[in-house]
């Protein structure tokens, strides 16, 4: 994912203007200020494929307790990890191929592969086959990144911010409706019924992508950084595998130390390779800029902890209470979804509030506020999680912090990159978040397993496990806060940011209206 100009690289191929409607700079201001029927159709068609991962993530997460008990497995962590690792490896290739062959074409191929994975997952007779299905299904993951990049290609500059805000802001609505829907499906039809809904959702996403115009091709066919992708994916898989086996095998065992050591060596080799190849999958040179490096790292780490923390409540709420075995609350999926509505509303409102606040307040200050609120919420959840009132109150606090984070991240990225770099920066941000999410998820399951009882092949968790898990997520968010303290002064976000000759964004962005709403 090369995001900075390389003097040694071949010249960029010209865009194929026949691939999309005329949306270039020759259009007048009056034309670009009005939304045409074609643009509205295009926006609607991109929204569902871009947010299907949110729906799939919620449904899959809620299904995990039932799946673990059905297959009698203590390795339920790999249900999500297999998907995440596959997405990590596929994303840089997808971004590069999208630039070479057109993003729509690549998204359709990835969505078709994801559909195959969804079907394998839902009909799987054994848990290993289900994990294989999740690996194949993870190939859909890069579609979300390509959708954001396609928005910038398919809309005039004046409408890009609003289009991005609409596509990404729809997550607030989906985060409210999807838990209720998944709850009804799981309670009525079990986990297979919920996963069949995901199959239908992927089919709908493919149908939507078919009406999206092709994007310009901006890169010549060249050598793909296969070595970098294999080192990143393989190294990360070994590290998370070692962390996951730590509780069972012993942290000082040869197997655990070998897996983690080999994985870290592969990741070190990945850094060396990425600094030497002309077209790296992850342009580490881009992280040489303090402003962008601190924004990407400081935002990816706490967001991974926020996303991972959602799994704690799912196991706490949906696992049954069994004396001396399980301290779950034994709620139905639907009841848990209803209890989560206040938190979802606050998260949605926080995103809108951030979109307005960053017009006059530095996004860095807003970001610090979100990190602080989320840390407090996680600590409160560690101490109070035994009844409905506790879950609602702590959920609202965490939802407020999480909503600020999700909206604030995009505002910070827009503040430190030029228009040309925004798509690449979003891709790098997504990839880093996925990497940290894989590590955080495996660490979370290791913490839960440390205070668990295995009954009929399924791990059930004690109250201490939930307390320690929430505190661990709070510590990771606090780490993100420490990293974020190094973020330099940021200007207000704008759709275009002037860059100085050294490639560093100017201290004051160009006076263009900021992106409204959450991002």
Tens-place pLDDT, residues 188-240: 999 999 999 999 999 999 999 999 999 887 665 556 777 887 888 788 888 87
* Confidence (pLDDT) at 20: 42
> Tokens at residue 465, please?
């496990």
Measured CA to CA, the distance from residue 184 to residue 59 in angstroms comes to 11
Look at phi and psi of residue 512 and say left if phi exceeds 0, alpha if psi is from -120 to 50, else beta: beta
pLDDT at 27 over 80: no
For residue 453, list its beta bridge partners: 460
pLDDT per residue over 447-506, tens digit each?
998 899 998 888 999 999 999 999 999 999 999 999 999 888 776 554 433 333 333 333
Q: How does the average pLDDT of the chain come out, rounded?
A: 81
For residue 505, list its beta bridge partners: 499
Give me the mean pLDDT over the 300-312 stretch.
92
Higher pLDDT among residues 4 and 423, named by residue: 423
pLDDT at 519 over 80: no
Q: For residue 79, what pLDDT band results from cuts at 50, 70 and 90?
A: very high
Say if residues 428 and 416 touch (Cβ distance below 8 Å).
Answer: no
Measured CA to CA, the distance from residue 66 to residue 318 in angstroms comes to 9
Give me the mean pLDDT over the 312-322 stretch.
92
pLDDT at 3 over 50: no
* Confidence (pLDDT) at 463: 96
Measured CA to CA, the distance from residue 31 to residue 7 in angstroms comes to 37
Give me the mean pLDDT over the 309-329 stretch.
92
Q: DSSP secondary-structure letter at 428?
A: H
Secondary structure element (H or E) that encloses residue 176, with its range: helix 171-210
* Confidence (pLDDT) at 10: 37
* Confidence (pLDDT) at 183: 87
């Amino acid at each position: 994912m090369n995001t900075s100009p390389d003097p040694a690289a071949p010249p960029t191929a010209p865009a194929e203007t026949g691939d999309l409607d005329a949306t270039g700079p020759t259009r007048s201001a009056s034309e670009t200020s009005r939304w045409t029927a074609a643009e509205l159709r295009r926006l609607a068609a991109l929204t569902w494929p871009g947010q299907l991962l949110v729906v799939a993530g919620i449904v899959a997460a809620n299904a995990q307790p039932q799946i673990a008990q059905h297959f009698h497995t203590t390795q339920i962590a790999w249900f999500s990890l297999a998907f995440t690792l596959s997405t990590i490896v596929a994303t840089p290739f997808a971004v590069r191929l999208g630039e070479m062959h057109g993003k729509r074409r690549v998204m359709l191929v990835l969505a078709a592969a994801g559909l195959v994975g969804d079907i394998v997952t839902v009909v799987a007779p054994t848990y290993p086959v289900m994990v294989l299905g999740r690996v194949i299904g993870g190939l859909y993951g890069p579609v979300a990144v390509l959708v954001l990049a396609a928005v910038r290609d398919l809309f005039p500059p004046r409408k890009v911010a609003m289009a991005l805000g609409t596509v990404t802001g729809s997550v607030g609505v989906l985060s409210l409706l999807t838990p209720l829907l998944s709850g009804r499906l799981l309670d009525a039809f079990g986990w297979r019924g919920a996963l069949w809904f995901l199959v239908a959702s992927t089919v709908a996403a493919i149908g939507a992508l078919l009406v999206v115009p092709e994007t310009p091709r901006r890169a010549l066919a060249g050598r793909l950084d296969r070595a970098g992708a294999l080192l990143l994916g393989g190294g990360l898989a070994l590290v998370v595998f070692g962390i996951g086996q730590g509780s069972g095998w012993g942290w000082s065992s040869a197997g655990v130390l070998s897996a983690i050591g080999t994985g870290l060596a592969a990741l070190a080799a990945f850094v060396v390779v990425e600094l030497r190849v002309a077209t790296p999958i992850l342009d580490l040179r881009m992280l040489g800029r303090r402003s962008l490096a601190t924004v990407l790292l400081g935002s990816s780490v706490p967001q991974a902890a926020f996303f991972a923390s959602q799994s704690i409540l799912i196991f706490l709420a949906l696992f049954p209470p069994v004396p001396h075995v399980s301290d779950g609350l034994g709620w139905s999926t639907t009841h848990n979804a209803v209890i989560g509505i206040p938190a979802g509303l606050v998260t949605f409102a926080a995103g809108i509030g951030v979109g307005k606040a960053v017009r006059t307040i530095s996004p860095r200050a807003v970001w610090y506020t979100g990190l602080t609120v989320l840390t407090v919420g996680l600590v409160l959840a560690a101490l109070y999680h035994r009844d409905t009132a506790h879950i609602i109150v702590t959920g609202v606090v965490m939802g407020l912090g999480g909503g600020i984070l999700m909206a604030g991240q995009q505002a910070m990225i827009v503040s430190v990159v030029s228009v040309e770099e925004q798509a690449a920066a979003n891709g790098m941000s997504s990839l880093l978040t996925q990497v940290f999410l894989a590590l955080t998820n495996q660490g979370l399951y290791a913490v839960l397993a440390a205070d668990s009882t295995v009954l009929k092949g399924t791990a059930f968790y004690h109250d201490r496990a939930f307390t320690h898990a929430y505190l661990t997520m709070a510590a990771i968010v606090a780490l993100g806060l420490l990293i974020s303290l190094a973020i330099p002064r940021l200007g207000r976000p704008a759709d275009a940011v002037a860059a100085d000759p050294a490639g560093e964004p100017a201290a004051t962005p160009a006076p263009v209206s900021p992106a409204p709403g959450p991002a």
